Amino acid sequence: MPFNIPILLTWLRVALIPLVVGVYYLPIHWLPRSDQDLAATLVFIIAAVTDWFDGFLARRWNQTSAFGAFLDPVADKLMVAGALLVLVHLDRVDHFIAFIIIGREIAISALREWMAQIGASRSVAVSSLGKIKTAMQMTAIPMLLFHDIVWGWIDTQLLGEAFMIVAAVLTVWSMFYYLRLAWPMIKEKGGAPL
């Protein structure tokens, strides 16, 4: 397993995920709910920044690796799934939206794994649509975690819900996009033994 700064940042992101969840298990008399929201928001934002930064550094320093390419999306999916589960528990995200997003991530990850096994992974490489979907999620989640009014008039819950709905629509759209790209290979190799 290679070890460099980009991979260290990815591992840091994985380590931060339990903090986003765990802060809500602290007793309210230790940390009031508004402080829990703020702490979870800040931890999530730090984790999201490492997501951008590790990829930037890996490309800039030419430290990309197969392990990093595997670990980075796993960390992203764990981060989003963990935050969504917290938000569902806090009744800030609809169960169905969380199911759509988490279910899509599992389905497309499995599709990519299968496509890699048959040597066609480039067919389902990350698209700009997938990147926009991720950006919407990474914008919506901290707003929903923060769950308060900013500057006296910006309702982060309402704004976060709007971004999350857009993210859910893009999630479904991108899933069909990837399935359409993979469909010829699914038809050709789907029934063939490996």
For residue 122, what pLDDT is reported? 67
Rg, the chain, Cα only: 18
CA distance 39 to 26: 11
Model confidence pLDDT, tens digit, residues 157-182: 999 999 999 999 999 998 888 888 88
Nearest Cα neighbor of 173 from 132, 120, 112 is 132
Other CB atoms within 10 Å distance of the CB of residue 137? 24
Pick the CATH number of 5-189 from 1.20.1260, 1.20.120, 3.40.50, 1.10.10: 1.20.120
Task: Assess contact for 75 and 14: CB atoms under 8 A.
Answer: yes
CA distance 135 to 129: 10
Q: State the amino acid at position 47 in one-letter form.
A: A
Please tell me what DSSP assigns to residue 24.
G
For residue 155, what pLDDT is reported? 92
Model confidence pLDDT, tens digit, residues 115-155: 777 776 666 666 788 788 888 999 999 999 998 888 888 89
For residue 40, what pLDDT is reported? 96
> What is the residue-averaged pLDDT of the chain?
87
Region 97-114: mean pLDDT is 90
Sign, Cα dihedral of 190, 101, 99, 83:
positive
